[in-house]
Amino acid sequence: MSFIDRHLGPRSADAEQMLKALGYDSLGALMDDAVPPQIRLHGELDLPDPLTEQDALAKIAEYAAENKVYTQMIGEGYYDAVTPAVLRRNILENPGFYTSYTPYQAEISQGRLEALLNFQNVVMELTGLDIANASLLDEASAVAEAVVMMHRANRKVKNGFFAIDSRCLPQVLAVVRGRAELLDIPFVVTDFSEGLPEGDLYGVVLAYPASDGEIRDIEPLVKAAKERNALVTVDADLLALTLLKSPGELGADIAVGNTQRFGLPFFFGGPHAAYMAVHKGMERTMPGRLVGVSQDSAGKPSYRLSLQTREQHIRREKATSNICTAQALLAIVAGAYAMYHGPEGLRAIAERLHTNAARVATALESAGYGIAYEHFFDTVVIDAPARADELVAKALEAGINIRRINENRVGISVGESHDDRVLERLVKAFGAELPSEADAKFSIPANLLRTDEYMKHPVFHKYRSETEMMRYLRHLSDKDLALDRTMIPLGSCTMKLNAAAEMEPISWPEFANIHPLAPADQAQGWHKLIKELSDWLVAITGYDVVSLQPNSGATGEYGGLRAIRAYHEANGDHERDTVLIPLSAHGTNAASAALAGLKVAGVATASDGSIDVDDLKAKIEKYGDKIAGIMITYPSTHGVFEPQVSEVCELVHAAGGQVYLDGANLNAQMGFAQPGKFGGDISHLNLHKTFSIPHGGGGPGVGPLAAREHLAKYLPGDAATADAEGKLPSGAALPIAQAFFGSAGVLPISWMYIAMSGAEGLKKSSEYAVLNANYVAKKLNDKFPVLYTGNANLVGHECILDIRELTDRSHVTAEDVCKRLMDFGFHAPTLAFPVPGTLMMEPTESESKEELDRFIEAMETIYGEILEVAEGKVAVEDSVLRNAPHTVDVVSADEWDRPYSRTQAAFPVPSLRANKYFTPVGRIDGAGGDRHFVCECPPMEAFDLEAHAE
């Protein structure tokens, strides 16, 4: 059987039946009606023939073999770390974790929420700050977020500037520079050797340790900043913080950095989880997701996303950030790594790294080399005037990559896997002898060491044996619904199959163990794979160029809008600062526009859900030469192929604007329409939707930009080419992520998907996505009217089920329906986006007819339950809907006083007797959790079940 036959859910006999139900005799005829002729692609996509699983794996293994795995001692933001196999196999390679969605539906996400809360607590403990979020995209963008956040949060110094440490990583400086320049926030880059700069300083960023390895005493700088009412961000190495005084103890307001070295491979630059921690009072302005502790209906402690959870959809351009997808899966690994080692284990690793670095420094010093800094953690810098290239070459001969800082200096970063054999090989290359630990000189001054105890909570002490860790991870994933148990019909999110063969190559050492700054000849396989994938995305989208840098869809939006702005600037159109965004757009659109320094003007939606062309014309009239462009989603966020999209593009082009087509929903278009051909100038795609990268419970993601030629030179540049101030060579646009290929490590997944699908297979994916969505829409339309349809009453790849009329009659809400679906073992559709009071469902092509029918049966049963309430037979508060989901505790309690039976509660359809999922908690009080925000791991006693039995 071909790959695509495995990828698709319905068998061909099923497809025939489904088509019949829709009144079509072929998929071709269905697509002819669904996709408007104005945008329809004629001819086939220019892609190679599909490969079998085996052949695709053999081909990608050839690329892997072209990468050369050297010992990585470059450092510079990426450090050698050991991934414990128990974490790799049971988290990174476990569909129970990697196929789950962002935990908006908290009751079916308690496992990953607990894992993320553990991550937050590790970060809080090590940084000495009160609150940490559940990851940011990378270290560089985390510093950029901190800079913008300090700007927003500092009420004492308004309209001032910030000062950033020139000893931050060059990629950090480059990304921060890009953000600040677009928002017109003034800044200076300084090494602070003369203290703080004069003037209205609103914020300071300090590197700790400095990116060239030195540990400085930053306490006086923090103090001085505080005296001037400036906020302080410390860009800190989390592992170094197991030894060094914490940013919190030093008086910092914010700490940010990378957690890659907590058990994650290099992945050729990403994905890795960055972190941010703040002190109390700043949590409401913090970007990213925040897990907090609340209570369920029985008073049991329960986890949920808190505060700004859906804020982009609510606050849009006023949102604190545009981050939607972050790095959840990687954060879960980093948190589990910390739990597996515990505080004493982490400290032992850090001490060993330091001692080994000291041995290397001692060896090189006795061989006559100059050691630049006496105080360092894991990175030794050698002063070798005009000899840096020679030293790099010597190390290379010994199979080791080290960092060339400039022509006079090299850096050597000692990693977790580097044992005495590696260290001996290194020092020998420089003609030196490795001393024993006792003979090592160099130490960290006592006044810089931390003396407080950290990670005291029992969760950081329980899972030392592999058996215990394996079972804990199983326990967590058992609490959750991921794609390995049920369809996840989330509209706009495209939760399709993440095939095992697609996933396999990402943990191969030839891909995973390549440092992003390794010499190019060691990464030939990576470059070939990336080039081929880029070419394929060009072929699919009809654009001219692709940048794989954005590590999420929202980052792509930011990069794309920035390109549009730069294009206008280059044409002398400085006043084009307004972007038109339909009110139905994904919330990240508006938030990204704000981040790109653009103003947002809303465009109304017509009664049929399409863009209101009259209002668009009025807005074009009103804003005229101020129009930078428009952002539209296609098919629209209402799940409809709008025939007038070409007209919309033409109107905006005629007004001098550029068209940003949000391509997160490319799924229904592959092989049928190309945004680069029907009017788009630039788009981002979401490889973690359409191209099979799993969601990982909220990241990783890849949001590549595809653009037409005239925007090519404004696509993000390579941070690796930045100078010491973070400036890029002239003509290059500043980067938006720290690694040139963003989340390179997961690109093999999309490569495999396309290689195994070919043009024909991608087309089939589109056809079946449209077939499945229309089948469900048709079957449920009588009971839950489909809000918007296009030509021939068809939807695209998703549909909005309108609950509002039922809600009016019964007071049963769309949220009640979502929670009740959990009793049937289903993940809810998208709630309240893009239309409040509705559910948007997207089955994807990977779901079988059987699974769709199971969903339809559940929805029909729920409909019957709503009618009972509407007809006054049951009060809504007492109904099985409002009391959903039902836990084992509730159903098995000795007392039962509800107006429905236990069977109706837990087994509303007979098939559940054979396969039943119980949510571990009942409905969670969201508002209460926000009012009393708590993000510490609850004490163990809180989980004493007896205390919470009803």
Ligand X SMILES: *Cc1c(COP(=O)(O)O)cnc(C)c1O
Q: Could you say which DSSP state residue 596 is in?
A: T
Give the phi and the psi of residue 267 in degrees, each rounded to 5: 55, 25
User: Is 327 an interacting residue with respect to ligand X (CB under 6 A)?
Assistant: no
Q: Concatenate the DSSP letters of all residues of 407-436 into one string.
A: TTEEEEE--TT--HHHHHHHHHHTT--PPP
Which is closer to ligand X, CB of 547 or CB of 552? 552
Q: Which of 171, 362, 492, 683 binds ligand X (CB under 6 A)?
A: 492
Tell me the C-alpha distance between 877 and 753, whole Å.
47
Which residue lies nearer to ligand X by CB, 513 or 667? 667
For ligand X, give the closer residue by CB, 102 or 118: 102
**Binding of ligand X at residue 697 (CB under 6 A)?**
no
Q: Kindly indicate which of the ranges 137-145, 513-521, 547-555, 788-796 contains the residues binding ligand X, using the contact rule CB under 6 A.
A: 547-555
* CB 545, min distance to ligand X, A: 20
Please identify which residue in 664, 666, 773, 862 interacts with ligand X, judged by CB under 6 A: 664
Alpha-helical runs (H) found in 578-702: 587-595, 613-623, 645-654
270/825 with CB nearer ligand X: 270
SS3 296: strand
Q: Let me know if 38 is exposed, middle or buried by CB neighbors in 10 A (0-12, 13-18, 19+).
A: middle
- Please state the closest distance from residue 541 (CB atom) to ligand X, in A: 15
Say whether residue 765 binds ligand X (CB under 6 A).
Answer: no
Which range in 120-128, 296-304, 551-559, 644-652 contacts ligand X by CB under 6 A?
551-559
Exposed / middle / buried, residue 163 (Cβ in 10 Å: 0-12, 13-18, 19+): buried
* Residue whose pair of structure tokens reads 């006044």 in the numeric block: 447
Question: Which residues on adjacent β-strands are paired with residue 458?
Answer: none
796 makes contact with ligand X (CB under 6 A): no
Give me the least distance between CB of 390 and ligand X, in Å please.
44
Euclidean distance between CA atoms 633 and 645, whole angstroms = 10
Which is nearer to ligand X, 211 or 312 (by Cβ)? 312
Closest to ligand X by CB, 137 or 395: 137
Per DSSP, the chain holds a count of helices (H) and strands (E) of 31, 24
Calpha distance 902→899 (Å, rounded): 10
Q: Is 553 in the site for ligand X (CB under 6 A)?
A: yes
Residue holding tokens 């495995």? 6
What CA–CA distance (Å, rounded) separates 613 from 603? 9
- Give the per-residue SS3 of 152-193: HHCCCCCCCEEEEECCCCHHHHHHHHHHHHHCCCCEEEECCC
Q: How far is the CB of 636 from ligand X (least distance, A)?
A: 9
Which is closer to ligand X, CB of 534 or CB of 665?
665
Asked if 292 touches ligand X (CB under 6 A), the answer is no
The region of 661-669, 713-721, 747-755, 849-857 touching ligand X under the rule CB under 6 A is 661-669
Smallest distance from ligand X to CB 650, Å: 22
d(CA 424, CA 187): 44
Surface-to-core class of residue 406, CB atoms within 10 Å of its CB (0-12 exposed, 13-18 middle, 19+ buried): exposed
Enclosing H/E stretch for 511:
helix 509-512
Least distance to ligand X, CB of residue 860, Å? 28
CB 646 to ligand X: min, Å: 19
> Which of 246, 665, 765, 883 forms a contact with ligand X (CB under 6 A)?
665
41 burial (CB, 10 Å; 0-12 / 13-18 / 19+) is middle
Residue nearer to ligand X on the CB measure, 581 or 664:
664
Asked whether the beta carbons of 553 and 664 are under 8 A apart, the reply is: yes
Closest CA to 365 of 424, 440, 418: 440
Q: Which of 662, 815, 842, 847 binds ligand X (CB under 6 A)?
A: 662
* Contacts with ligand X, 675-694, as mask; x by CB under 6 A: -----------x--------
Among the listed residues 588, 789, 844, 846, the single contact to ligand X using CB under 6 A: 588
Hey, which residues between 628 and 657 contact ligand X (CB under 6 A)?
Answer: 633, 637
Ranked by CB distance to ligand X, the top (closest) residue is: 553
Nearer to ligand X, 271 or 411 (CB): 271
Q: Which is nearer to ligand X, 517 or 841 (CB)?
A: 841
Q: Which is closer to ligand X, CB of 232 or CB of 585?
A: 585
Q: Residue 524, exposed/middle/buried by CB under 10 A (0-12, 13-18, 19+)?
A: middle
Burial of residue 807 (number of CB atoms within 10 Å: 0-12, 13-18, 19+): buried
Q: Look up residue 35 and give its two tokens.
A: 């996709």
Does position 552 interact with ligand X (CB under 6 A)? The reply is yes
Point out which span in 113-121, 550-558, 924-932, 937-945 binds ligand X (CB under 6 A): 550-558
Q: How far is the CB of 704 from ligand X (least distance, A)?
A: 11
Judged by CB under 6 A, the residue of 157, 324, 332, 762 near ligand X is 324
Residue type, 301: P
C-alpha–C-alpha distance, residues 229 and 202, integer Å: 7
* Contact by Cβ (8 Å): 286, 133: yes
Of 98 and 442, the one with the shorter C-beta distance to ligand X is 98
Smallest distance, ligand X to C-beta of residue 290, A: 16
Supply the minimum distance, in Å, between the C-beta of residue 144 and ligand X: 16
| Exposed/middle/buried for residue 939 (C-beta within 10 Å: 0-12, 13-18, 19+) | exposed
Q: According to CB under 6 A, which one of 254, 278, 545, 554 is a site residue for ligand X?
A: 554
Ranges within 702-741 binding ligand X (CB under 6 A): 703
Binding residue for ligand X (CB under 6 A) from 325, 667, 690, 750? 325
Nearer Cβ to ligand X, position 306 or 683?
683
Residues that bind ligand X (CB under 6 A): 324-325, 492, 552-554, 586, 588, 633, 637, 662, 664-665, 686, 701, 703
